[in-house]
Amino acid sequence: MKITAVVALAILLIPMASFADDAAKKAAVTDMVRALGYGGAIHNFKNYVLRGKDKYNRKADTSFQTAQTAIQAFRNAEPTKMETAVLDDINQVIQLYRDALPIIQVMIGKKTAKEIDAGVKISDGPAISGIAKLRKGHEWGALAEIEYALGYGCGIHQFKNYVLRGDARREKAETCFTTAETAIKKLDGAAGVTRVIAEYKAALATTAEMIDAGKTAEEIDGSVKISDNLAKDNLKVLRK
């Protein structure tokens, strides 16, 4: 009877452990998206390329490290083989970005922002698709959808690349910002985020005009520079 009871208890504990691992994985992905995205790693990395100020270097590296901490937290939650491979892909891309920071530091003052961007251009595909895979199977609230749409691989990432490269990123940025606006409708108290998104969408048209006029990335960035404090402060409140 005692053995039967122990076995029964073990069977009951299996789904509880699985539930705990799933919760830990979801929390890790949330932390990863926040660390890499809007106001985080990619945002500061691109600003470092565009503006050359050391504060962006420090902020970017700190955020990349935070993302790597989130990856380790996911690894501690019994990942599958597929998840482990995806985590490896994401971590590799993050490390490439971290390795690029001192290269940018050397290039500042000697190269234009566009030249620096070309010199440290990194393929984001494995990390973007990897994060998308890790998000599958979980239900995400409006706040998580907003952060995902604004962040790495989407809104702010595509906007900064549009300023730097003047390529087809405009449509991608527009789509991401619109996705964030749709998610905001499900959430109360996001007026600050809404306002800043509207400013970014308006800045896309200005950026297009300046690209057509032959302006440099630095000139465009200076003209469409938007204060993110209102949105970042709003997001902090919403996370509580």
Q: What is the pLDDT of residue 19?
A: 64
What per-residue string of b and e applies to 11-49 under the rule 16 or more CB within 10 Å gives b? Answer: eeeeeeeeeeeeeebbebbbbbbbbbbbbbbbbbbbbbb
- Give tens-digit pLDDT for 175-213: 999 999 999 999 999 999 999 999 999 999 999 999 999
User: Residue 92's domain is classified under what CATH number?
Assistant: 1.20.120
- 139, 158, 192 — which closes off a domain? 139
What per-residue string of b and e applies to 223-238 under the rule 16 or more CB within 10 Å gives b? Answer: ebeeebebbbebbeeb
Contact 163, 173 (CB under 8 A): no
Backbone angles phi, psi at 214, to 5 degrees: 80, 20
Least confident span in 16-25, 66-75, 83-92, 220-229: 16-25
Contact 100, 88 (CB under 8 A): no
Position 147 pLDDT exceeds 90: yes
Mean pLDDT on 55-79: 99
Cα 98 to Cα 65, 83, 94, 122, 212: the distances in Å are 9, 22, 6, 11, 33
CA dihedral 177, 146, 222, 36 (to 10 degrees): -130
- Give tens-digit pLDDT for 78-102: 999 999 999 999 999 999 999 999 9
Q: What is the pLDDT of residue 169?
A: 86
Q: How many domains does the chain have?
A: 2
- Three state DSSP letters for 158-172: HHHHHHHHCCCHHHH
**Whether 18 and 135 share a structural domain:** yes
Q: How many CB atoms lie within 10 A of CB 57?
A: 19
**Whether 151 and 96 share a structural domain:** no
- 89, 116, 139 — which closes off a domain? 139
Mean pLDDT on 124-144: 97
Contact 41, 90 (CB under 8 A): no
**Whether 113 and 217 share a structural domain:** no
What the block records as the tokens of 228 is 């993110």
Beta strands in 67-143 (DSSP E): none
**Whether 96 and 155 share a structural domain:** no
Task: Kindly state the percentage of the chain with pLDDT values over 70.
Answer: 92
- 105, 139, 173 — which closes off a domain? 139
**Whether 156 and 61 share a structural domain:** no
Domain of residue 189, residue span? 141-240
Helices and strands in the chain, H and E counts:
12, 0
